[in-house]
Structure 1
Amino acid sequence: MIRYLLFAIALLASIVIFLSYSLYDRVHNEPLSLNQTYVQIENGDTFNRLCTEWQVAGALQSCWPYKLYSKLNPNNFTLKAGVYEVSSLTVWSAINKINKGIKADFTFTIIEGESYQAIVDKLKVSEFLVFDLPKIDVKTHFQFGNAHPEGWLYPETYHYEGGTSASALLTRAHDKMKRQLDDVWAKRDADIPLKNKYEALILASIIEKESGQAAERSTISSVFHNRLNKGMRLQTDPTVIYGLGKRYNGDIKRVHLKEHTPYNTYRINGLPPTPIAMPSQDALLAAVQPKSTDYFYFVSKGNGEHYFSKSLKEHNQAVRKYILKK
């Protein structure tokens, strides 16, 4: 009798061990077959609701093994709000990631020379970013020195979590630009004709748009500084293009150069009223530390480089060679 009882206990123990192993194996190794890369968890979401959604979507066979396992390990099945990448994971790995709050990492890049409007257009379509800019006053929110946000965002790749607001991301970019501008302005040459760091930001944005080669930035800067010191107009096409706004179709015409706009440096003296793009660190430094030259003109060679001239006669010859191909 005792022998049969021991046999029954051993059999029952074997069954329990087998079922426990089967449960463990099922819970830890079943693939999550979701037709999406990311899962968004809201505050208050429970594992039971999430698992039911996955089962309805056909991402797993059944929720009961996980619900049973969650009774044994409840702390491992609490969910933290956020956006999570769950592609190519097992169900358990996805649950574990959400439980530990290992959120997906998204990036947003502000490109050197990019305009504020171009950045806003990209923000509108960025993954899991809350576009709240229409709800805020840009000037007040970012505490710009003027009503225009152009130039005030530092070009860099910014990491963010899902649910981040566009204004929060731009605040980081703006704070970075303010720090960089303060640092660069403190390193400025003593004799430059710029009255304040905002003028340095404006000039840096022009240098950014004019320079195809980083090595030329300080030389391009010298041309603009020489012109400012002589009281000559800057006569730079990127400012004209910026002033045209949406009217610019890729072809700058003579009539555009004659048009009176606040940004037409062929018609106005000195700098335009605001920056025209987001300048890089190199452009900022070039604006306050120009190379010492006698150049007053430059023209594109068509390969990203420029030919620099000291006189109008030399410049006109360079235009005939590189632009008119004569």
Structure 2
Amino acid sequence: MLKVMFSVLVLAIITTAIGYQQLHTTIHSPLNVASNTQFEVKKGMGFNQLCQQWQANSWLDSCWRYQLVAKLDPSLTELKAGLYELTNDTVLNNIKKINSGQQISFSFTIIEGQALREVLSALREADNLKYDLDTTQLGQQIIGQDTHLEGWLFPETYHYHHNDTASSVLQRAAKKMQQILAAAWQQRADDLPYKTSYEALIMASIIEKETGLACERPLIASAFVNRLNSNMRLQTDPTVIYGLGERFDGDIKRKDLREHTPYNTYRINGLPPTPIAMPSKAAILAAVNPPKTAYVYFVSKGDGSHQFSTTLQQHNAAVKTYILNNKN
């Protein structure tokens, strides 16, 4: 009897040891994948299906050990759909990454001064993003208004996951722009030539396109505000270029300045009907709080900066210095 009991005890110890060894091996076994291996967990994929696919790919030897561990820890079977980066960390750690939804993150950047057509073109080429935009009803789709979406997307980098939609990215960009604009409008200066925050957004987009120097945005804004408050036309080239659209060949000609378009501020009074680009926060703040100056004119120096003037005589002299002389 003692021999039988001893044999049973020995068998139990051996079985326990083998079980412990199997468990230890299961817990510490690495996933046999190359670095940066991507794997998509599709909606509805179960734990057994996942394990079998990994085994078929020779990423692990067998499934039964992991199925047993999953019986002990059912949370391992809660898979979240998405695209994941697998590593040669342990099999269980890779599964836990999927359990917690640590998907690969992609990014899309809206650049300050980009026009809507440029943003849409870039979205069509964005990796792992579903292009679901209806260009005939874009305003309704993104901000719930029947309006032109130009200017309404805040320039920033937006992160997304595999198979997210382009509309979801733009909705976030539009919400951010609405928040920035609303906050700036509440802090606007007095005596501005805008009746609505939308008009301030239009002005901000023109400021954004008129200069690439952050330090000049307030001065550009001041000059434009002074023009409008004096019933002068804005006469700014970026609006002419926007009105020409795809017809613009890189060089503004005299006939372009004479052409009547809703955006030709050499021909129309006041602001154009919509923004002409996506303005930065700095451009918006400049538009609603321009410094008090007497500047009305400015001309490019050819190095990205501008010469500002208060009188037409000063402006003509600056044009002669920085433009006419450079052509000789």
Is TM > 0.5 for Structure 1 vs Structure 2?
yes
Q: After the TM superposition, which residues 46-125 of structure 1 pair with which residues of structure 2 at under 5 Å, given as runs? A: 46-125=46-125
Match of 1:177 in 2: 177
Q: Percent identity?
A: 49
- In structure 2, the CA distance between the partners of 1:48 and 1:135, relative to structure 1 (3 Å rule), is farther
Match of 1:152 in 2: 152
Letter paired with 2:107: T
Q: Report if the CA contact (8 A) 2:134-2:141 is conserved.
A: no
- In structure 2, the CA distance between the partners of 1:205 and 1:87, relative to structure 1 (3 Å rule), is farther
Letter paired with 1:251: D
Pairwise CA distance, 1:36: 5.5
Q: Report if the CA contact (8 A) 2:29-2:90 is conserved.
A: yes
Letter paired with 2:223: V
Match of 2:228 in 1: 228
- In structure 2, the CA distance between the partners of 1:125 and 1:29, relative to structure 1 (3 Å rule), is farther
Task: Report the Cα distance in structure 2 between the residues aligned to 1:227 and 1:54, rounded to whole angstroms.
Answer: 68
Pairwise CA distance, 1:323: 3.3
Pairwise CA distance, 1:3: 5.7
1:263-298 residue CA offsets vs partner (Å, 9 max, x unmatched): 111222211110011111111111111111111211
TM-score (norm 2): 0.88
Pairwise CA distance, 1:173: 1.6
Task: Report the Cα distance in structure 1 between the residues aligned to 2:16 and 2:135, rounded to whole angstroms.
Answer: 60
Pairwise CA distance, 1:101: 2.7
Q: Report if the CA contact (8 A) 1:34-1:57 is conserved.
A: no
Give 3-state SS (helix, strand or coil) of 1:96's partner: helix
Q: Report if the CA contact (8 A) 1:106-1:161 is conserved.
A: yes
Pairwise CA distance, 1:60: 2.9
Q: Does 1:165 align with 2:150?
A: no
Task: Report the Cα distance in structure 2 between the residues aligned to 1:73 and 1:224, rounded to whole angstroms.
Answer: 67
Task: Report the Cα distance in structure 1 between the residues aligned to 2:104 and 2:52, rounded to whole angstroms.
Answer: 22
Q: Report if the CA contact (8 A) 1:38-1:87 is conserved.
A: no
Q: May I ask how many residue pairs the two structures share in their alignment?
A: 326
TM-score (norm 1): 0.88
Give 3-state SS (helix, strand or coil) of 1:102's partner: coil
Task: Report the Cα distance in structure 2 between the residues aligned to 1:44 and 1:84, rounded to whole angstroms.
Answer: 16
Match of 1:284 in 2: 284
Pairwise CA distance, 1:139: 2.4
- In structure 2, the CA distance between the partners of 1:144 and 1:288, relative to structure 1 (3 Å rule), is farther
Q: Report if the CA contact (8 A) 2:35-2:86 is conserved.
A: no
Task: Report the Cα distance in structure 2 between the residues aligned to 1:254 and 1:135, rounded to whole angstroms.
Answer: 33
Pairwise CA distance, 1:2: 4.0
Task: Report the Cα distance in structure 2 between the residues aligned to 1:256 and 1:246, rounded to whole angstroms.
Answer: 13
Where structure 1 has 5 or more consecutive residues not aligned to the other structure, the ranges are none
1:39-87 residue CA offsets vs partner (Å, 9 max, x unmatched): 3323321122122222333333333432343344333233122333324
Pairwise CA distance, 1:19: 4.7
Give 3-state SS (helix, strand or coil) of 2:25's partner: helix
Give 3-state SS (helix, strand or coil) of 1:304's partner: coil
Root-mean-square deviation (CA), in Å?
Answer: 2.6
Q: Does 1:248 align with 2:248?
A: yes
Q: Report if the CA contact (8 A) 2:143-2:174 is conserved.
A: no
Task: Report the Cα distance in structure 1 between the residues aligned to 2:80 and 2:59, rounded to whole angstroms.
Answer: 20
Match of 2:275 in 1: 275
Pairwise CA distance, 1:124: 2.2
Q: After the TM superposition, which residues 118-137 of structure 1 pair with which residues of structure 2 at under 5 Å, given as runs? A: 118-134=118-134, 137=137
Pairwise CA distance, 1:246: 1.9
Q: After the TM superposition, which residues 38-49 of structure 1 pair with which residues of structure 2 at under 5 Å, given as runs? A: 38-49=38-49
Q: Report if the CA contact (8 A) 1:28-1:93 is conserved.
A: no
Return 10-19 or 205-214, whichever deviates more: 10-19
Letter paired with 2:165: S
Letter paired with 1:53: Q
Q: Report if the CA contact (8 A) 2:140-2:146 is conserved.
A: no
- In structure 2, the CA distance between the partners of 1:38 and 1:249, relative to structure 1 (3 Å rule), is farther
